[in-house]
Structure 1
Amino acid sequence: MDKKEIFDALEGFSNNLLITIAEVDAIKKHLRGVIEENTALRLENSKLRERLEKEDREPNRTANFGKENLKSIYDDGFHICSYYYGQRADNVEPCMFCDELLNRE
């Protein structure tokens, strides 16, 4: 091997290393997002389990139990409307579909 071939091989190796480093950084970034989502879902799951345990302990149910239950779910930050049911609600503005459902007579 002459000097030019050695330098070309090293240049190719260097380029491959840079590509690999970029791929590892992308994987790390994706993993951070997955971990954040997992943490949020664990918190949400924990709150839902607490709610279920609380409801199991409360045997008395009023005539408006269904409406009260929907209001409680909505107040916990989840949509109750048919468009976004069960999705996490954005805390910035209330959902007009959920509000309409709660205000029905």
Structure 2
Amino acid sequence: MDKRDVFVQIDQMEEQMGTLYSELGRMKQHIKELLEENKRLSLENQQLRKLLKDVDHADAELPLVPITAAQAKEITGEGHDNLARLYHEGFHICNVYYGHLRTEGDCLFCMSFLNK
């Protein structure tokens, strides 16, 4: 075996290792996205089961009553509270990353939205 052949083989192995490393990075990103989706779907499933359980317990139908302005303001406050709850559960509520898991601490976009 010639010295040149050895260096050619080493170069080929190095190229193959680089390709494998980039492939591993892509797979790691895909797994991260799948885990985020799984967590999001698990939480959504849990909330839907809770909602379904609450609906089953409230079999009596309530008559429809028009909403006053004060009640509308209270409902808007509920929406803000729900978003705050989602944020504290670890999800983004900003328009940039809405619904994604927060993996690196607080998000400035989300925080600015909550402080409005």
TM score, norm. by length of structure 2: 0.55
Instruction: Quote the Cα distance in structure 1 between the aligned partners of 2:20 and 2:55.
Output: 52
Of structures 1 and 2, the one scoring higher in RCO (CA 8 A, sep 6+) is 2
- Alignment partner, residue 53 of structure 1: 53
Paired residues, what number? 75
SS at match of 2:59: coil
C-alpha deviation, 1:92, in angstroms:
6.0
Deviation sequence 1:41-84 (CA, Å, 0-9, x none):
1101100000000010112111339xxxxx9xxx568xxxxxxx
Alignment of 1:56-71 (within 5 A): 56-64=56-64
Counterpart amino acid of residue 24 in structure 2: V
SS at match of 2:36: helix
- Alignment partner, residue 35 of structure 1: 35
TM score, norm. by length of structure 1: 0.61
Q: Percent identity?
A: 25
- Alignment partner, residue 15 of structure 1: 15
Instruction: Quote the Cα distance in structure 2 between the aligned partners of 1:64 and 1:46.
Output: 28
Where does the alignment leave 5 or more consecutive residues of structure 2 unmatched?
A: 66-74, 84-92, 96-116
Runs of 4+ in 1 over 4 A off after TM superposition: none
Instruction: Quote the Cα distance in structure 2 between the aligned partners of 1:34 and 1:51.
Output: 25
SS at match of 1:23: helix
